Amino acid sequence: MQKVQTVHLAVSEDSDFRPSLEKAVADYICALGWAYSDASLVESSVGDWFERNSPGSGRFFSRLEIRKQDESVVLSALDAEGRNVAGKAL
Amino acid sequence: MKQVSLEVLREEPDVTILHLSGEIGLDLVPQITAVLEEHRQKGASHWAVDLSRVDFLSSPAVGVIMGLRSRVIHMHGSVSLFSASRELSEKLQLMGVDLAIPSYLDKSDFLNHFRWEFKGASRSVRLTLPAEIRAVPPTRRLIAGLLESKGYGHKDAFVMETIVDELSNNAIEHGRPSDGIFEVKLDFDRREARLSVSNRIDALSGEEKSRLVQSYEHPRVDPGSLRGRGIALVKKLSSRVNCRVDGEKVEVEIVRKREKP
Each residue of B92-139: pLDDT tens digit? Answer: 999 999 999 999 989 999 999 999 999 999 999 999 999 999 999 999
What pLDDT was estimated at residue B150? 95
What pLDDT was estimated at residue B222? 72
Paired with B175 in beta bridges are none
Is any Cβ of chain A less than 8 angstroms from the Cβ of B181?
yes
- Of A4, A20, A24, nearest to B130 by CB-CB distance is A4
What pLDDT was estimated at residue A59? 62
Residues of A in contact with B248 (CB under 8 A): none
Mean pLDDT of B170-198: 93
Is any Cβ of chain A less than 8 angstroms from the Cβ of B115?
no
Q: Are B185 and A9 in contact (CB under 8 A)?
A: no
What pLDDT was estimated at residue B186? 98
3-state secondary structure of B205: coil
Is any Cβ of chain A less than 8 angstroms from the Cβ of B152?
no
Is any Cβ of chain B less than 8 angstroms from the Cβ of A85?
no
ipTM of the complex: 0.92
In eight-state DSSP terms, residue B11 is: S
3-state secondary structure of A76: strand
Residues of A in contact with B113 (CB under 8 A): 14, 16
Q: Which of residues 21-50 of B touch A (CB under 8 A)?
A: none
Q: Exposure pattern of A28-44 as b/e (b: 16+ CB <10 Å)?
A: bbbbbebbeeeeeebbe
∠ at Cα A84 (B179, B183), nearest 5°? Answer: 30
CA distance A63 to chain B (A): 9
Distance, in Å, from the CA atom of B236 to the CA atom of B230, rounded to the nearest integer, reads 10
* Chain A to chain B Cβ contacts (< 8 Å): 96
Of residues B227, B181, B175, B242, the one with CA closest to residue B204: B175
Axis-axis angle for helices A18-31, B136-149 (nearest 10): 170
One digit per residue, the tens of pLDDT, for chain A of length 90 reads: 668 899 999 999 888 898 999 999 999 999 999 987 788 888 888 888 888 876 555 566 788 999 998 888 999 988 878 888 888 888
Of residues B226, B229, B251, the one with CA closest to residue B241: B251
Asked whether the CA dihedral A29, A30, A35, A41 is positive or negative, the reply is positive
Mutate to test the interface with A, among B125, B140, B143, B172 (most CBs of A within 10 A): B125
Mean pLDDT of B26-42: 93
- Of B86, B109, B179, nearest to A15 by CB-CB distance is B109
Categorise residue B43: left if φ over 0, alpha if ψ from -120 to 50, beta otherwise. Answer: left
